[in-house]
Structure 1
C-alpha cells in the first residue's frame, strides 16, 4: 500500500505504511528504499539522509542503496560525499545507466569534465539513444573548447529527438562564438517554440539580436526580461541584463537572483580567519579563466609585472582552457605561484586557497563566461574582491569589495552595489603601456565610408549598443 499511496501523492500515509513494514521486518530493504522517497516528498531531507545510511548498513553491496544516498547528499549540496556514493553504486551495479548518468552529471558540474565524459560514454554504451547523455557530453566538449565534437553530440541528440530545446540552445552558443549570429538566432527561436519556459532562452535571444543590431524587435522581449527579474525567474543572466538594461535596481536584482541559484548550498567551509599579525608577506590570489591571449590579460599583463614582491606573494588560480600562447607565458612568469585548478571543484579550489593562506582573493570574472563564482561562495579568503571582468555588482554578501572608478560606479549609485567600492583615482581599467600603436593608416574607402563628413566610432561589441543609444548619438 505504501507505494500506491506514494504514487497518489499521499506521502504521509505512505511513510506510515513503510514504518509499519519495517517494524515487522527491520531488514526489509525495499521498504527502507521507498521510505527515503517518502521523506524527500515531505521535504525532510535530514531524515532521508539518515534513512539512506541505515539502508546502506543493511545492504552494503546494493547499488541502489548507494545511489539513493548519493542523490540525497547531492540535494544537500554535499557534492564530494555524493560522488563517493555514486561511485560505490556504479561499482556494485556497473550496468546501471542511471547511476553513471547521475555521477557524470555531478562531475560535470564539479568541473571534472574528463571523468564526466567517461561516465556519459558508459551511459551511451548502455543506452545509445540517450539524448540527454549526448547533450551532457557535448557540454563537456564545449567547455573544453572541442567545438566540432560538441556540435556532433548536440546534433545527434536532435536527430534522436528533434523537439528538444536544450541542444538547440547549446548549438546557438557555439554558432554565436563563431560569429554565425543569424543561425544562432534561428536555433534559439526553434528552442523557444519547443520550450518557451526553458531558463535563459529569452535573454539569449535578446543578446543575439543585439549582436545583429536588430533593435526594432527588442521591446517585447525586454519587457519580459524586466518581469522575469522582478519575479526571480531562473536563467536571466546578470551579464546579459548589464548589456540590455540601464536600470541599476534591475541589475542588482538580477545579480541577487543569480547568486541564489548559483551559490545555493555552497556554505563557507567553516570560519575563515584573518592572518592578522602573522609575519610574512600578504598573499593575494587572482582567479580567472583568462590567463592567456584574452582581453583581461592584454589589459593586466603589465600590472602583473609591476607587482610588489617584497611585501606581497602573488598567486594565480587558472581555470581557463589550456591555451599555450605568448601572453599566457608572459603572465605566468609574473606570479610566484601559477596554479592549474581546471579539474578542481569550486569547493576544492576554496579549500586549497585556505590551505595556501590566501589573504585577499580577487575575482576577475564575475558573471562573465567560464566564471567560477561558486569558489567565492565557499569563502576562499578573508577578503574577497570583484574587479575588471564584470563592471557591475555581484549582489553577493560574500563579496566584500569592488574596485571601481566614478564613471563605472558613480558614488550616487553605490546603494545598488552589494560590495563596498574601492575607487581608483582615474580609471578602474588598467592597461599595458607597452602596447604599440599600429603603423597602418586606415582609409575611409577601405571601410566603406564617405569621403567627407564626421565619422563616429565605437570600439564596443554590438551588444553594448542599443537603438536608444544610436537615436541619441548618431
Structure 2
C-alpha cells in the first residue's frame, strides 16, 4: 500500500475518480483505509467506484460496513437502497430507503427510492404517497415528477401521467427516457400537443444514441428500422452495462424431445395468449416438450387455465428475479427459450441476457428487433421483414412462408349480432371502423380519417371507447378538422365473442400507421370485415399487410397514405365492389393460411427444429426460410 498523508492520498484518489481512472481511485481509497480504517468518505467512495465497475456485491459489503459504523449516514443508506434495487431485491431496497427517510424525512431522494421499491412490490398507493412527500420536500425535483408519471402510467391514469411528465420536462428535459414517456402518454390520451416537436426530439435523440425513450413506445411514432435498432442498442447498453455471465456455455443436452419454454407475462386474457393458445395445444408431443413460464402479473382466468393445460410443464415464476428465472431454465435443460414479451410491458430481457438456453428466440409479443444479447433469432415472415430491411436486425431472421402470426381457429364469434341502435350507431350510413388502441392513432392518420368522413356523406367512424378523456380529445380534434364530433362513435368494452360479433355492423376497417393493427387485424378478418392498411418500413408497420397476404387479400395493402385514402374512398362509394370484397374474404377464410392453426404449428416447429439442430451441430445461428410444405 502507498504510504503518506491520508488527506493527500484521499484528494489524489478523488482526482483519479473524477477523471475516470477507477482502478487508480480504488487503490488510492484502499491506501487511505489502510492508514485510517474507519475513513467514512473513503469507504463510501470506494463503494461508488466498485459499483461503477459492476462489482455491486463488493459495493454493498463496503456500504454495509459503513452504515454499521455510522447508522445515520444517509448517502450510504441511499446507495444501498439503489444497489439492492439493481439486484432486483425490492424488499432490501425498501428497507434501506426507509432507514434513510427515518433519518431525513424531508429527503426527496429517500422518498423517491421508497416509491420505486413500493411500486415494484405492488404497493402502488403507498408509492404514490411517497412521491407526493418527495415533491412536497422539493417541488423542483424533476426525477420525482418523472417517477410520478411512471407510476400513474402503470395505474393507467394517463392524463395525470402527462401532467407529471410535463412538469418533469419543464425542469429537466434531458432525464433518461422522459421525452419518449411524455410522448407515449400523450398519444395514449390522443393529446397531440407538441406532437411533431416531441416526435423529432425523440428521433434525433435516438440517432445520437441517447436514452430518450424505451423501444416499445418508439414503435408507435417511428417507422425507420434503423432508428429502432439504434434505440434498442442504446436501451440494452444502459440496462446491461455489464453483460451477465452466460449460464449455458455449450453443453449438449440429450433429450428424447426438444424442450421448448415459452416465457411470458401474458398467459391470461391478453392478445398474445389469444393468438398463441391454439398452437400450444397442437404442438407435436412426440417431438416437443412444452414448458410455460409465467411472469408477473399473476392473473387467474379462463385463458390462463387453457394455457396451463396446453403445457407439459407450467411454472409460475412471478416471485423470482431475472437470475433465478434464468437459472430455472438452465436447470430444466431447456433447448429453446422463446421470449414472448420482448420489450413490452412486464418484459424481462435480463432472463435472456444470461444465456439461459442454447437457442433463444424473440417471437410474437414484440414486433421488432431485440438485439443479439437477448435473442439468437426473431421469428418473422417475408412481409414483416423484407430482405431489404434485414440489415437492421442483430438477430438472425427465421421467415415463415405465410404469416409469422399464429391464430386460434377455434375462436368463437357470438351468434347474436347487436342492432346498430344497440351499438350506438346510426340506422343508416357507412361505418368506418378502427378498434386499435389509442396510442396507435397519430394526427397524420386521423387527418386521413376525417378527410374520409368529410367526403362520404352520413358516414361515421367507430372507435374503441371506455375513456372519457380520450373520447373528448378525439371529438375536439374532429371538430378542429371540420367534422361534427357526433360522427365519432365509441364502442364500450365487451366480452371477446361479443366484440367479434359486432364487427358485422362495420363496413370497412381502417388501419393505423406506423403501428398497425396486429391481433386487432386478425379479429376483423376472422369476423369477415375487410381491412385496408398502409404498409410502412418497420415490422410493426407491415403486420397488417402480412395478415392480408395470408388471407388472400394483398391488394388491400397500400404503400402511401394517399393510396390508402383513395382505396377507402373508392370502396365506400361502391357498394357492389365492397360486397364482392366481403364475399371474397368469406370464401377465403376456410383455407386461409392465416387461420390454419395446424399448418402454422408445423411451420413453427420446423423453425425450432432447424435452429436447434444447427446449435447441436456446433454451428452459429444463421437466417433461413421455412418451406411451405414444412
TM-score (norm 2): 0.64
The answer to whether the 8 Å contact 1:239/1:367 transfers is: yes
Distance in 2 separating the partners of 1:52 and 1:188:
40
Distance in 2 separating the partners of 1:67 and 1:335:
50
By how many angstroms is 1:390 displaced?
0.7
**DSSP 3-state at the match of 1:111:** coil
Q: Residues 240 and 357 of structure 1: is their aligned pair in 2 closer, same or farther, counting only changes over 3 Å?
A: same
The answer to whether the 8 Å contact 1:341/1:349 transfers is: no
Quick check: 1:374 aligned with 2:350? yes
The answer to whether the 8 Å contact 2:32/2:39 transfers is: no
Q: Residues 42 and 216 of structure 1: is their aligned pair in 2 closer, same or farther, counting only changes over 3 Å?
A: closer
When the two chains are superposed, the root-mean-square deviation of aligned CA atoms in Å is: 3.1
Q: Residues 167 and 309 of structure 1: is their aligned pair in 2 closer, same or farther, counting only changes over 3 Å?
A: farther
The answer to whether the 8 Å contact 2:292/2:315 transfers is: yes
Alignment of 1:92-111 (within 5 A): 92-111=69-88
By how many angstroms is 1:461 displaced?
0.6
- Structure exhibiting the larger radius of gyration computed from Cα positions: 2
Unaligned runs of 5+ in 1: 1-18
Of 181, 187, 208, which aligns to 1:204? 181
Q: Residues 125 and 419 of structure 1: is their aligned pair in 2 closer, same or farther, counting only changes over 3 Å?
A: same
Distance in 2 separating the partners of 1:293 and 1:210:
24
Distance in 1 separating the partners of 2:443 and 2:214:
21
Q: Give the aligned partner of residue 417 of structure 2.
A: 441
By how many angstroms is 1:149 displaced?
1.8
Q: Give the aligned partner of residue 116 of structure 1.
A: 93
By how many angstroms is 1:280 displaced?
4.4
Quick check: 1:365 aligned with 2:341? yes
Q: Residues 431 and 155 of structure 1: is their aligned pair in 2 closer, same or farther, counting only changes over 3 Å?
A: farther
Q: Give the aligned partner of residue 485 of structure 2.
A: none
Quick check: 1:420 aligned with 2:396? yes
The answer to whether the 8 Å contact 1:293/1:327 transfers is: yes
Quick check: 1:456 aligned with 2:432? yes
Unaligned runs of 5+ in 2: 449-560, 569-630
Deviations 1:366-391 (A, max 9, x none): 22222222333332223221111111
Q: Give the aligned partner of residue 394 of structure 1.
A: 370
The answer to whether the 8 Å contact 1:63/1:88 transfers is: no
Distance in 1 separating the partners of 2:335 and 2:35:
46
Quick check: 1:287 aligned with 2:236? no
The answer to whether the 8 Å contact 1:266/1:374 transfers is: no
The answer to whether the 8 Å contact 1:269/1:351 transfers is: no
The answer to whether the 8 Å contact 1:301/1:331 transfers is: yes
Deviations 1:259-316 (A, max 9, x none): 221222124337721416x344433333333334433333333433334444444444
Distance in 1 separating the partners of 2:8 and 2:269:
57
Distance in 2 separating the partners of 1:329 and 1:61:
57
Deviations 1:83-117 (A, max 9, x none): 34444444444333222211111222322212211
Q: Residues 374 and 141 of structure 1: is their aligned pair in 2 closer, same or farther, counting only changes over 3 Å?
A: same
Of 219, 227, 233, which aligns to 2:210? 233
Quick check: 1:262 aligned with 2:231? no
Q: Residues 39 and 289 of structure 1: is their aligned pair in 2 closer, same or farther, counting only changes over 3 Å?
A: farther
The alignment of Structure 1 onto Structure 2 pairs a total of residues equal to: 449
Q: Give the aligned partner of residue 23 of structure 1.
A: 3
Distance in 1 separating the partners of 2:294 and 2:9:
44
By how many angstroms is 1:222 displaced?
1.4
Distance in 1 separating the partners of 2:42 and 2:331:
34
By how many angstroms is 1:131 displaced?
1.2
Of 48, 56, 60, which aligns to 1:79? 56
Q: Give the aligned partner of residue 9 of structure 1.
A: none
By how many angstroms is 1:422 displaced?
1.4
By how many angstroms is 1:129 displaced?
1.0
Q: Give the aligned partner of residue 40 of structure 1.
A: 17
**DSSP 3-state at the match of 2:307:** helix
Distance in 2 separating the partners of 1:325 and 1:45:
52
TM-score (norm 1): 0.83
Of 444, 450, 471, which aligns to 1:468? 444
Distance in 2 separating the partners of 1:78 and 1:351:
20
